[in-house]
């Protein structure tokens, strides 16, 4: 077992390298963060604590949308535009369905081939996921590492599985939903629950013979949102059209994102949002630990599912089941 | 301390009386359920377990809307209509701002004066609330008691404070949002997050010189929802106008509610929804207990807020704070 000083030194070196913009050091740190091994986790946490004061200095943008909406093309082109303007861009992904042996890992770098070749861009595929919670944790920490490494824009792509959008919305400043053209009966509905997360709806593929359909879709979303957000001081979702393929409208998208971000910062709302996100995450980690410790007990784990099934079938009240779980956990009971 | 047999006998008697429709017995049982005393809680849980198989046989409807939307008038008139049709109606409320010494307690029975006089209607104001969690728990259990007492319709009113709507949506089958007339710039926006909960939006006060404004509001909501719910098999919110004051459109409202409920039942979706709600509630109670046991420790409670504040200020990573909490809780740590 290596001495504490040696470990501390390693962390100091890693922190230094990351801050200096060493991409290999950054990639290594992210791998550490994604590792489930307790020893790796301890090193990862030490590194994150060392870098904490250097995090936070980016515009964090979540990008979601159905498969086929063209998210990858959009991120590729947007990333190129930003790099050309002098930004350092990190691109991450939350995809609990990804696996280590293919899928996202090769996919991302070929889907965003041009951006992947840029020195000022750092692309990291989604960690392999066995649970959304695990992927979410890794991604949050990767955002911090990417910021410490000097990236001033962090784009987090989500593939729209389960609660992925909500998870990503809870770790970014601005949330963009990418939609496809179509109107009336062909209008792509916005996934229930996604609507209230969106700051911007970007109707992509406004090119070729689709321009008209894209405009109509944008108009319908705009009408709907205007109606629903009427009179709300804090809800002002914007709708625009663009073509990632033709690099049309992406400057307007970024201008809107920056404008919002500036406004959030100026009003203090950004600081509050990020503080809320961090506090909620702390509580989440802790509650998960309490629950995991409990479920870790063999007897308890067996019974948890049994009890839940009884409750679902209406054979036991939820309170009685929870009480039984408490008894198994050895917690103090109310009476 | 009374013998176990005596207590058991009391519970048996109480259960019998409730099932026979004894309103005093029902009211007493609800008071027991709302009581924080451990002894009362134990009795309440025993009673609920005894009655479990007799619950579930009602149409559970959540009714929300801004102050001034006319919820009380609507519930009063709707309740009267249902009673006239032979239903037994229970009216509950979730209002974490209510207090024991006035407010809801007197308010409800005067606001729903006519319904309160009906033998086939049972009105219970919101329990006094120190937390939404406590009020939610009591209300869920009161629904069960009301059903065991033979009520085949349970209306749960929510006053729109904080997350009250979400809490109520998680304990009912159908969720209705009551809106007021107005259109264009005067359109009352639907509270963010409420939209996806709504099965029906009922624009009230469609009477006198407001009929036109009510119709326009309904048309705008309909347009917006049509756009946003496009292509969604499971999202089909309905919009209608009514006048609770003039008892116009309430039959149509109830017909829509019943139609939905029948469809849910027939498809099996209702059973799944209720099973999901019960399972989620079990997990919620248990996680709250784990957290309460933890916070109950004096050292831990003091530190919880300190650590959260540090995290909010960016002085500590959420993971490090959670780890510290874990240490204080004496839970097994990852390494």
| ipTM of the complex as predicted | 0.79
User: In whole angstroms, what is the distance from residue B147 CA to residue B87 CA?
Assistant: 12
- Please report, in angstroms and rounded to a whole number, the separation of the first and last CA atoms in chain B: 47
> Distance of alpha carbon A192 from its chain centroid, rounded?
18
User: In whole angstroms, what is the distance from residue B218 CA to residue B238 CA?
Assistant: 10
Whether chain A has a CB inside 8 Å of the CB on B298: the answer is: no
Mean pLDDT of all residues belonging to chain B: 87
Q: How high is the pLDDT of residue B99?
A: 62
Q: Is the dihedral of CA A140, A143, A147, A152 positive or negative?
A: negative
Q: At residue B121, what are phi and psi to the nearest 5 degrees?
A: -120, 140
User: In whole angstroms, what is the distance from residue B136 CA to residue B95 CA?
Assistant: 9
Contacting residues of B for A53, CB less than 8 Å apart: 314
**At what angle are helices B104-111 and B71-84 packed, to 10 degrees?**
60
* Percentage above 90 pLDDT, chain B: 56
What is the greatest pairwise CA distance in chain A? 71
Q: How high is the pLDDT of residue B55?
A: 94
- Please report, in angstroms and rounded to a whole number, the separation of the first and last CA atoms in chain A: 47
* Size of chain B in residues: 335
Three-state helix/strand/coil letters over A177-231: EEECCCCHHHCCCCCCCCHHHCCEEEECCCCHHHHHHHHHHHHHHHHHHHHHCCC
DSSP-assigned letters across all residues of B239-260: EEE-BTTTTBSHHHHHHHHHHH
User: Distance from B84 to chain A by nearest Cα, in Å?
Assistant: 31
User: In whole angstroms, what is the distance from residue B55 CA to residue B49 CA?
Assistant: 10
Determine the residue among A239, A275, A276, A282 to mutate to test chain B binding: the one whose Cβ has the most chain B Cβ atoms within 10 Å: A282
Question: Residue B106 — pLDDT band, cuts 50, 70, 90?
Answer: very low
Determine the residue among A218, A224, A310 to mutate to test chain B binding: the one whose Cβ has the most chain B Cβ atoms within 10 Å: A224
User: In whole angstroms, what is the distance from residue B90 CA to residue B234 CA?
Assistant: 28
- Would the pTM count as exceeding 0.90? no
Which tokens sit at A307? 């009890």
Q: Are strands A153-158 and A174-179 parallel, antiparallel or unpaired?
A: unpaired
Query: DSSP assignment, residue A269?
Result: H
User: In whole angstroms, what is the distance from residue A71 CA to residue A177 CA?
Assistant: 9
pLDDT of B156 over the 70 cut: yes
Reported as a single tens digit per residue, the pLDDT across A93-134 is 888 777 654 444 445 566 788 999 999 999 998 887 667 888
Closest partner residue to B312 (CB to CB) among A189, A275, A311 is A275
Among A70, A89, A71, residue whose Cα is nearest residue A79: A89
User: In whole angstroms, what is the distance from residue B19 CA to residue B15 CA?
Assistant: 6
Closest partner residue to A278 (CB to CB) among B318, B332, B335 is B318
Least confident stretch, A142-146, A221-225, B312-316: A221-225
Reported as a single tens digit per residue, the pLDDT across A198-231 is 899 999 999 999 999 999 999 988 888 888 777 6
Could you identify the residue written with the tokens 């970024």? A254
Beta-bridged to residue A239, according to DSSP, are A201
């Amino acid at each position: 077992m290596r001495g504490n000083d040696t470990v501390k030194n390693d962390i100091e070196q890693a922190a230094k390298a990351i801050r200096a913009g060493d991409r290999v050091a950054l990639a290594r740190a992210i791998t550490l963060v994604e590792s489930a091994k307790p020893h790796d986790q301890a090193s990862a946490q030490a590194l994150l604590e060392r870098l904490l004061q250097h995090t936070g200095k980016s515009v964090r943008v979540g990008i979601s949308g159905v498969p086929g909406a063209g998210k990858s093309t959009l991120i590729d082109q947007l990333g190129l535009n930003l790099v050309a303007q002098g930004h350092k861009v990190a691109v991450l992904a939350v995809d609990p369905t990804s696996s280590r042996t293919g899928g996202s890992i090769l996919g991302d770098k070929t889907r965003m081939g041009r951006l992947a070749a840029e020195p000022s861009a750092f692309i990291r595929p989604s960690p392999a996921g066995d649970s959304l919670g695990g992927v979410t944790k890794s991604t949050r920490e990767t955002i911090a590492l990417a910021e410490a490494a000097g990236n001033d824009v962090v784009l987090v792509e989500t593939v729209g599985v389960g609660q992925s959008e909500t998870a990503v919305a809870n770790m970014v400043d601005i949330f963009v939903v990418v939609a496809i053209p179509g109107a009336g009966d062909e209008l792509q509905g916005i996934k229930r629950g996604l609507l209230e997360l969106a700051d911007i709806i970007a109707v992509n593929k406004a090119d070729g013979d689709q321009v008209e359909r894209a405009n109509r879709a944008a108009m319908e979303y705009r009408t709907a949102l205007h109606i629903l957000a009427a009179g709300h001081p804090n809800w002002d979702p914007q709708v625009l059209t663009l073509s990632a393929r033709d690099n049309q409208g992406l400057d307007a998208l970024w201008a809107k994102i920056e404008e919002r971000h500036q406004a959030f910062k100026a009003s203090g709302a950004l600081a509050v949002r990020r503080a809320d996100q961090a506090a909620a995450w702390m509580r989440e980690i802790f509650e998960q630990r309490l629950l995991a410790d409990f479920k870790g007990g063999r007897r308890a784990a067996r019974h948890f599912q049994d009890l839940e099934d009884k409750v679902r079938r209406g054979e036991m009240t939820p309170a009685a089941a929870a009480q039984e779980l408490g008894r198994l956990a050895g917690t103090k009971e109310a009476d």
